[in-house]
Structure 1
Amino acid sequence: MLPYYPGLRFKQGEYFAAGKLPADVQRYVEPRFVLPSLTEPDPALDRPLTLDEIAHLTGDRVGKHWPIRRAFLDTHFIARDLGDAALLRLFNTVWSRNPHIVPVARLKDLANPLFQRLRCVGPTKLAVLVGYEEADAEVITRALKMAGLEASDCVIFVDFTGAPLDPKIATGSVSGVLDLVGEVGLWQRVVFQGSNFPKKSPAAPGKTELVPRHEWEVFHAALKECGIPPDRLGYGDFGADHGTMAFPRKKGGGRAHRQLRYTGATDTLVVRGADTGKDASVMADVCKRIVESKHFAGRAFSAADDRIYCLAKGIIPAPGSASNWREWNMLHHMMRVIRDLGAFAGVEFAPGRVTEETFQSSLFEGQDEPVS
C-alpha cells in the first residue's frame, strides 16, 4: 500500500507542503510534480517565469524542498514552449540537485528521441502516464518498444480524471483498467491516480460542503477485484484538489477563494469564508469552523492542523496568503492519506509538534526569494 503517489501541481503551496512533511513520512511519499504552464503567475516573483528562469528555478526548488528522495517530474504543460534542448537542460539542472527525479512521459512522448535520452539513474528509468481510456496493452507495449524500454524499467500512472469514481458503479471498471495495464508486463508499480473533487468550489460564500472521497473508496474496492498483487499497486490522488490540470494558455486569473479544504476519513470538508471582510477575520472564521467541527483531527495531526488551530484561537494573527492556504490543504491531506495507508501496512507515524501560546511563523518562513 505504501508509498503514496500524489499528483501535485509544482506550485508554491504544493512544494512547500511536500517539503514540510516530517522525515519519517517523506520516505513513504513519491510525488508526481507537474510543472504548470509558463502563463501561470509565480507567487515568489509575482509574475510568470521566463524561459530562461524555468530550468534553474525548478532545480533550485527541487533541491530545497525535495532534495533526497524519489519523485516524478511531469513537464507535459511546458514541453511545447521549452522545446527539446531546453527540456533536456531543465532535467540536467534538476538532476544536479536530486538525481532521483524520474521523468514522466505520455505514450506519444515515447516516440520522441528526447525521451530515449531522458533516463533517471537507478532501477526506475522513466515513468509512463496513461489516461484510463488509453489502457490498451498492445498500444502501450509498442510505445515502450519504440523508446527502448521494458515495463520493468518503469512506474506507470493510470489517470482516472474524468471517470466516474463512485464505488457503487465504478469498482469493476477501475479494476478492469488496472488489469489491462498489468497485462503489458511486470511494471515496478501500477499507480491509480484519481479525484472526485469538483473543478469548481462546491461551497458558496460563507457555507460549508462535504465532498465524498470516492477515489479512496473505489481504489480499495478495486484492490479486491484486481489481478495485480497489492504490493505492485500504488494509490495516488491529486492532493486536496481535482485532477483536471488544464493550465491556461493565456495570462490572467481571478482572486482565490478564501476557503480551506480539510480532508477527513471519507469526505473532504470545504469551508468557505465570506466574500467581504479582511483576510484576517475571514480566515480566522474559516479555521474556527474547522476546529469546531467533528472532522478536526487535532492540532498534532500535522503542522497545518496546528496552524489552523492557532489561527482559530487567535494565538497567531497572520491569515496567510492563497499559497499558504493551498499549503495547509495539501499538508493536512497528505498526512491524512499517509497515516491511513500506513494503518493498512502496519506503519505508524509520530504526532506532530504543536505551537506554544506564543507567535511562531514556521509555515510562513523560508518563502522563495525573488530573482534579482
Structure 2
Amino acid sequence: MLYVPILRCKAGEKDALIQLKDDVKDKIVPLFEVAPDTISKFSDITRAWKSRKFYFDLHAALEIDNEKYFELIDKCIMDDVLSDMIPAVHVSDNSEKIAKVKEVSANGIAIRVTTNELSDPDFDFSFSDMLRENELSNCDLILDAQFINNDTLNTQIFVLKSTLSTIPNLASFRRIIIASGSIPDTLNVPKEELVSIQRFEKLLFENIRKALMPKGIEPIFSDYTISHYSYFEFIPGMQMSFKIRYAAENEYFIYKGLTLKKGGLKIDKVLEGCKAIIEKSGHFKGPDFSWGDTEIYDRYSGETTGPGNLQSWVSIDENHHITLMVNLLSNRS
C-alpha cells in the first residue's frame, strides 16, 4: 500500500476508481467516507471496488445512531465486500459500536484521529483506553490533519509530532497513515483564468516521515484528493460552475469556468479550460498518463466533442490525481 485517497462515495469518484489502471489500483487502499448525501450510494462505490481492500468511515456531518451504522455494516455483508473492509473507529465511538466492528471485521480496524479531536479535554484518557483494549498489530493508525495551508502548516506538524511522541509502542501499529488536504472549502478564484494553489500535503507528510523513520516506521501518505475535508451541502437553486482541478506535485491548477446557467458546460467553454491545463500549466502529463488526462486531451484535440457534465469532471480530475500520487510515491527517494 502506497496511498490512501479519502473519497466520499459519490458517483464521480466511483467512475474515477473504475477507470484507474490496474497497476495503480494495486497500490492504493481508498478510505470511503460516507457523507449525508452519499449514504444511499455506499453500496455502489464498494461494488466498484470489489475484491480490493478499503477503509470505511463516517463523515463527521453524518450523525447516525448505532442501529443505522450496523445497517451499513449489514450492507457490506449483503454486497459481499465485508472481507475487503477495514472499518475506522474514533475515540468518541461507544463501546457497542467498537465491539461490533471488531466482531465482524476480518481485517482488523483503523483508529482514526483528527487534529480537531485532539483538542477534546477527554481525548488523552479515551485514547489511552482504546490503545489498551486493542491489539495494535491488527490496527492501523490514521492521523488526519484535515485542512492545511500556509498559516496552519507548522502548527499541524507540531501537533502531529507531539501526539506521536506520546503514544507508547508506536511501532506496534500495523500501519501509520498521515492524512491532510490543501483544497480550500470555497474556490474564490477568478473565472476563466488558470490559477495555482500551493499544495502542503507533501510538506506535512515529509516532516512527519522524517520524525518516524528513526523509529523504523515508514508512514503511508493520504489526502483528500481534489476536495476539502468538510461536508459540502448542495442547496437547490445554487449556481454550480464548471471547473478543472488538476493536481501537480506541489500545486493544484484550477480553472473555474462560468456557471451552468451561463453556459459553462458548453463545449467551447470546456475547451478553453482544457487548453489552459495543456498549454499554460506547464504540468500536463500527456494523454497516456491516465484516463483523466486522455479525457482532457481528447477534448483539446477535438477527438471528443462532448463537454461532459459536473460528475464526469470530478471523475477526470480524481482519476488524474490518484494516478499522479501513486506515480510520485512510487518514485520517492
Does the alignment reach a TM-score above 0.5?
yes
In the TM superposition, what is the alpha-carbon distance from 1:158 to its structure 2 partner? 1.1
Count of aligned residue pairs for this structure pair: 321
1:220 to 188, 206, 221: 206
Counterpart-to-counterpart distance in 1, 2:169 and 2:125: 7
1:312 to 300, 323, 327: 300
In the TM superposition, what is the alpha-carbon distance from 1:170 to its structure 2 partner? 4.9
**SS at 1:155's partner residue?**
strand
Identity of aligned residues (%): 20
Equivalent in the alignment of 1:15: 14
Structure 1 position 112 matched with structure 2 position 99: no
C-alpha contact 2:35 2:62 (8 A) present in aligned 1: no
Structure 1 position 88 matched with structure 2 position 70: yes
1:207 to 184, 193, 207: 193
Q: How does 1:1-372 map to 2 (within 5 A)?
A: 2-37=1-36, 40=37, 54=40, 57-63=41-47, 65-77=48-60, 80-81=63-64, 83-95=65-77, 96-98=79-81, 99-109=83-93, 111-119=94-102, 120-122=104-106, 124-135=107-118, 138-145=125-132, 148-164=133-149, 169-170=154-155, 172-173=157-158, 176-177=161-162, 179-180=164-165, 182-183=167-168, 185=170, 186-226=172-212, 229=215, 231-243=217-229, 245-248=230-233, 252=236, 254-275=238-259, 276-277=262-263, 279=265, 280-293=267-280, 294-344=282-332
Counterpart-to-counterpart distance in 2, 1:8 and 1:260: 17
Counterpart-to-counterpart distance in 2, 1:262 and 1:140: 38
Distance 1:67 1:139, change over 3 A: same
C-alpha contact 1:6 1:30 (8 A) present in aligned 2: yes
Is the deviation greater in 266-275 or in 226-235?
226-235
Counterpart-to-counterpart distance in 2, 1:195 and 1:33: 16
Counterpart-to-counterpart distance in 2, 1:184 and 1:29: 26
Equivalent in the alignment of 1:362: none
Distance 1:118 1:201, change over 3 A: same
C-alpha contact 1:179 1:228 (8 A) present in aligned 2: no
Offset from partner CA, 1:174-222 (integer Å, 9 cap, x none): 5514524643642111111101221111422112211111111221133
Distance 1:86 1:27, change over 3 A: same
Distance 1:62 1:152, change over 3 A: same
Distance 1:258 1:303, change over 3 A: same
C-alpha contact 1:172 1:225 (8 A) present in aligned 2: no
C-alpha contact 2:178 2:222 (8 A) present in aligned 1: yes
In the TM superposition, what is the alpha-carbon distance from 1:316 to its structure 2 partner? 0.8
In the TM superposition, what is the alpha-carbon distance from 1:16 to its structure 2 partner? 1.6
**SS at 1:274's partner residue?**
strand
Offset from partner CA, 1:123-146 (integer Å, 9 cap, x none): x3211211125456553121344x
C-alpha contact 1:126 1:154 (8 A) present in aligned 2: yes
Looking at secondary structure, tell me which structure has more strand per residue: 2
C-alpha contact 1:205 1:273 (8 A) present in aligned 2: yes
Counterpart-to-counterpart distance in 1, 2:55 and 2:129: 23
Counterpart-to-counterpart distance in 1, 2:319 and 2:226: 9
**Where does the alignment leave 5 or more consecutive residues of structure 1 unmatched?**
43-48, 346-372
Counterpart-to-counterpart distance in 2, 1:201 and 1:224: 32
Give the AA of the match of 2:71: R
C-alpha contact 2:143 2:177 (8 A) present in aligned 1: yes
TM-score (norm 1): 0.78
C-alpha contact 1:212 1:266 (8 A) present in aligned 2: yes
Counterpart-to-counterpart distance in 2, 1:137 and 1:151: 17
TM-score (norm 2): 0.86
Counterpart-to-counterpart distance in 1, 2:322 and 2:264: 29
Equivalent in the alignment of 1:351: none
Is the deviation greater in 175-184 or in 251-260?
175-184
Distance 1:202 1:78, change over 3 A: closer
Give the AA of the match of 1:71: F
In the TM superposition, what is the alpha-carbon distance from 1:89 to its structure 2 partner? 2.6
Distance 1:78 1:62, change over 3 A: farther
